[in-house]
Amino acid sequence: MSFFSCRNLTRKPWFEGKDLELHAGEVVVLRGATGSGKTLFLRALADLDPVDSGEVFLGEVERGSVSPGEWRRQVLYLRQRATALTSVVGSDYERVLALAGTRERKADLPTTLPLDHATEKLSGGELQWLALERALLVEPKVLLLDEASSALDRESAERFEARVLAYVAAGHAALWVAHDASLAERLGAEELPFP
């Protein structure tokens, strides 16, 4: 029984009949040429874009049988161009917690970035950190990372990767689209060609 899978996922002309299987605790890296539709594939898995046909499962649950919001919270897509949701780091965290229906005390919020920092002053890399921390707060089962650490320097990128690996090890899974040829090796992850 796979943790997360898709069968015959098709969106012409980008991908046709794609199958994929992820197990709990597993990270898989997708590599393919620019413009090959990797982003559209991740977005389709997260139910942010339509597909022509195919099915996506979380365990045995088919996507169509849960509400789109519930699905997306569990199969969370992290875009390359990370965006703040509010004007302050701490409010960004609170906003997603409110969406998830849980409000935690401020002391429990991640401290990678100062909570009172204005989001408009964050660099592209810091925004990517914000996006990761924000995503982990709602505890998704599957992380779909679309070049999600591309704006970070090598050292920060490695911390970012360690953070993802630790999260996945706790019984989650991640599918990572990246151009960085050494990512799969660093993560000790399987690398799949796309499409």
Partner 1 sequence: MTGPIELTPFDLVLAGILILANGAVSLALDLRLGKRLAMATVRSVLQLSLLGFLLERIFAANGPLPVIAMLIVMAALAGVEAVRRTTRRVRGLTLVSTTVMLSTSLIIAFYGIHFVLEVDPWWKPQYIIPILGMILGNALTGISLGLETTLEGFARDRDQVESLLAHGATRREASKDIIRRAVRTGTIPILNAMIAAGLISIPGMMTGQILAGEDPMSASRYQIFILFSITGAVALGTISVVTLTSRLVFDERGRLRVDRIHSVDGDN
Order of strands, sheet of 53-58, starting from the edge strand that comes earlier in the sequence: 15-22, 4-11, 53-58, 61-62
Write down the least CB distance from residue 117 to partner 1, Å.
18
Among 96, 122, 151, 168, binds partner 1 (CB under 8 A): 96
| 14 binding partner 1? (CB under 8 A) | no
Amino acid present at 182: S
Amino acid present at 73: R
Burial of 191 (0-12, 13-18, 19+ CB in 10 A): middle
| 134 binding partner 1? (CB under 8 A) | yes
Tell me the Cα Rg of the chain: 16
Among 12, 81, 106, 159, binds partner 1 (CB under 8 A): 81
CB 128 within 8 A of CB 92: no
Among 138, 141, 186, 194, binds partner 1 (CB under 8 A): 138
| 46 binding partner 1? (CB under 8 A) | yes
Q: Please give the residue ranges that form the binding site for partner 1 (CB under 8 A).
A: 46-50, 68-70, 72-73, 76-79, 81-85, 95-96, 99-100, 131, 134-135, 138
